[in-house]
A and B are shown apart, each in its own frame.
Chain A
């Protein structure tokens, strides 16, 4: 059925500068990998090949760590902080200047809607560099009185595929501001914006080796973690891998921060502003196809408004536009990879098998590419897998509670503890609940708000350490 006011295709037309082949960015130069191996990165929206990317093996990791060490000793640790700041400002400005191109690249490589990479990923990435550039020569003010800010040395940083450039920015900016040098390993499915960032670092004329970018897979990351020349590992990714890293580093001198999975409780009380809450729920679970570690994936609603919320959410689902991520009107883009799509399918099947009721947006999926419609489950019980495991897709589980205390108990009944959301128009109830959420970030009457000045991080199996704000600086300073 065609309506009277259908949105015509509105594709973003900026062409990113895409090389056919990317090497490793080590010691300020683009190198062929010692491994001799290259891997393909594809566009998950249509499964088309984008570029060939060098694969870093143990030997390449070693080269990168040595380059970072050399740059640390030779340039970065002794550079005047105000000069470090200038370099970081340059990176921030370059990201801003090339924002459209970076947005297109992020969307091509990862499948997220262009409106999100354009309005969220890229500007927030630039904001992190701007914020931390400001800190570089003011670190004394972050310390206890009399304490001297000292960098750690070489930081090995491993970032995930859901916010490739933004996560790289979260890691690089504070490390550099505090005087550390970096070996960054982007995710296997989304290396391109990290490599574009390496180009920016090159053009910003940072001393060689201060930032090194080595694409690869889990084995590359493991080699970086094992390398004894690394003083600090910062990892964002799955809880499973995070645990393996923690085991590997137990008893060593290497410092560690982990930002892992989540199964956030999103609480909606009967006195909440309903339409606002529905928008918050939609933003909480369907932003970036639900590939968000702090996604509000466990919706807990007061029992007496359950049916009303379901009606409103069902209607709202139909207005979400799923399709070509490069179209400026797309709300739901492509799932990042075939493997992730299969994982979502598997968990959704388990939900149906265990008796939950699936509601989905009715739309046809593009023939090629990896897509999953915006979905939610009703009749979910605490014991269901879909109420306990991280789906990392556009799938919400709806449960109910009767009293605030029951809400707290159910919200905290998870091994994770990254984020939580609360919707109620009563301020005192909001404050009471926020105090009782075992989660690193609690959003009240809003969701998914991020700012470089605000620390982010988890409890329990969602990891430890904070990124952003003053607290994020401590993770890259000796104490």
Chain B
């Protein structure tokens, strides 16, 4: 039924004014991401410029929510984004596997924060989770959150490695109870990343947690979100599972890179009725 529900939501027809509103919303909720071994200072600078102003010919479009980078690059991003509303998110805790000692992971987190990160994207220990050490996974999230303090913590469940929707739901519940500000689907580094059914399951966890405790946590979908159609479907899933109140960068993010280019192309198409070539937009 979860897949059937996700399938039904993915068939919502989002056209004309809804599509334009959705594209703007998707941009404003985006964590524009680069997580490659070859990332450099220059690469970060150009990405940040695009994050602030995605398309110079459409100044009415919002900036993205954040730029998401590796810890070593946080300070460059922080410089490039100074004075704008765009946040710097850093992956941490030995991203993407998380398989270092807790001390190393906490130090990694601390370093990212000291370099100026506004948000931390941590990974859970999937091995421990699958081995049934739920308490351990919980306690590690608590420990990272303690280092973060007021810094926004997104907890990556890496759903592609959890093996079942039951596990996704359980890991989501566990992360929320441990104090996650956001739960996030994926690192983008494994075979299966964000999917529609997984997003539905995580929205349900967030909704039930909010009903139980009154605290509203957020959702971040990441990995494999490349098309406007996918992004709009995630907006539909959030809207119809959590409500429109969640359609805000403070409660919903899309982690992506090339998605922004497709959103811009679709935006122009909605305005002009024609598709422009990809070279009419900056590729960063």
A interface residues with partner B (beta carbon < 8 Å): 3-10, 115, 119, 273, 275-276, 279-280, 283, 311, 319, 327-329, 445-446
Contact = CB atoms under 8 A, between A and B. Distances in A.
Contact of A4 (B211, B240, B247): B247
Given A5-B247, A276-B2, A119 B11 contact: yes
A115 B4 CA distance: 14
Contacts of A311: 211
Contacts of B11: 115, 119, 328
Nearest to B248: A4
B213 interface: no
Given A279-B5, A280-B1, A6 B13 contact: no
B161 interface: no
Nearest to B26: A5
- Name, among A5, A280, A311, A445, the residue most crowded by chain B CB atoms within 10 Å (CB to CB): A5
A65 to B, nearest CB: 43
Given A4-B25, A5-B25, A5-B239, A10 B1 contact: no
A8 B235 CA distance: 14
A8 B1 contact: no
A7 B2 CA distance: 22
Interface in B230-273: 235, 239-240, 244, 247
30 contacts: A3-B247, A4-B25, A4-B247, A5-B18, A5-B21, A5-B25, A5-B235, A5-B239, A7-B14, A7-B18, A8-B15, A8-B16, A8-B19, A10-B13, A10-B14, A10-B15, A115-B11, A275-B1, A275-B2, A275-B204, A276-B1, A276-B2, A279-B4, A279-B5, A283-B1, A311-B211, A328-B11, A328-B13, A329-B12, A445-B1
A8 B22 CA distance: 11
B17 interface: yes
Nearest to B21: A5
Given A319-B240, A328-B13, A446-B1, A8 B18 contact: yes
A6 B12 CA distance: 12
Nearest to A119: B11
Contacts of B25: 4-5
A4 B1 contact: no
Contacts, number: 56
B61 to A, nearest CB: 15
Contacts of A327: 13
Given A7-B13, A279-B1, A319-B240, 4 more contacts: A8-B17, A273-B1, A329-B12, A445-B1
Q: Which 9 pairs show the lowest CB-CB distances between chains A and B?
A: A10-B13, A328-B13, A8-B18, A276-B1, A3-B244, A279-B1, A8-B17, A8-B16, A319-B240
A4 B247 CA distance: 8
Nearest to A12: B13
B273 to A, nearest CB: 16
> Which applies to chain A's interface (DSSP): helix, strand, loop or mixed?
loop
Contacts of A9: 15
A122 to B, nearest CB: 15
A115 B19 CA distance: 19
A115 B90 CA distance: 42
Given A279-B4, A319-B240, A446-B1, A5 B12 contact: no
Interface string B146-161: 0000000000000000
Contacts of A8: 14-19
A316 to B, nearest CB: 9
Interface string B12-37: 11111111011001000000000000
Contact of B244 (A4, A273, A283, A445): A4
A395 to B, nearest CB: 22
A296 B11 CA distance: 24
Nearest to A318: B243
Nearest to B4: A279
Contacts of B240: 319
Nearest to B14: A7
Contacts of A115: 11
B18 A6 contact: yes
A455 B5 CA distance: 26
Contacts of B15: 8-10
B243 to A, nearest CB: 9
Contacts of B1: 273, 275-276, 279-280, 283, 445-446
Nearest to A445: B1
A315 to B, nearest CB: 8
Nearest to A278: B1
A327 B204 CA distance: 27
A148 to B, nearest CB: 43
B244 to A, nearest CB: 4
A280 B2 CA distance: 10
A6 B2 contact: no
Contacts of A319: 240
A355 to B, nearest CB: 29
A328 B240 CA distance: 16
A190 B139 CA distance: 62
A254 B26 CA distance: 64
Contacts of B18: 5-8
A4 B25 CA distance: 8
Contacts of B16: 8
B18 to A, nearest CB: 4
A6 B236 CA distance: 10
A212 B40 CA distance: 75
A362 to B, nearest CB: 14
B22 A5 contact: yes
A273 B19 CA distance: 34
- Name, among B1, B14, B239, the residue most crowded by chain A CB atoms within 10 Å (CB to CB): B1
A329 B17 CA distance: 15
B235 to A, nearest CB: 6
B242 to A, nearest CB: 10
A283 B21 CA distance: 29
A329 B10 CA distance: 11
Nearest to B22: A5
Contacts of B21: 4-6
A7 B12 contact: yes
A139 B157 CA distance: 53
A445 B11 CA distance: 23
Contacts of B12: 7, 328-329
B142 to A, nearest CB: 27
Nearest to B235: A5
A230 to B, nearest CB: 41
A256 to B, nearest CB: 36
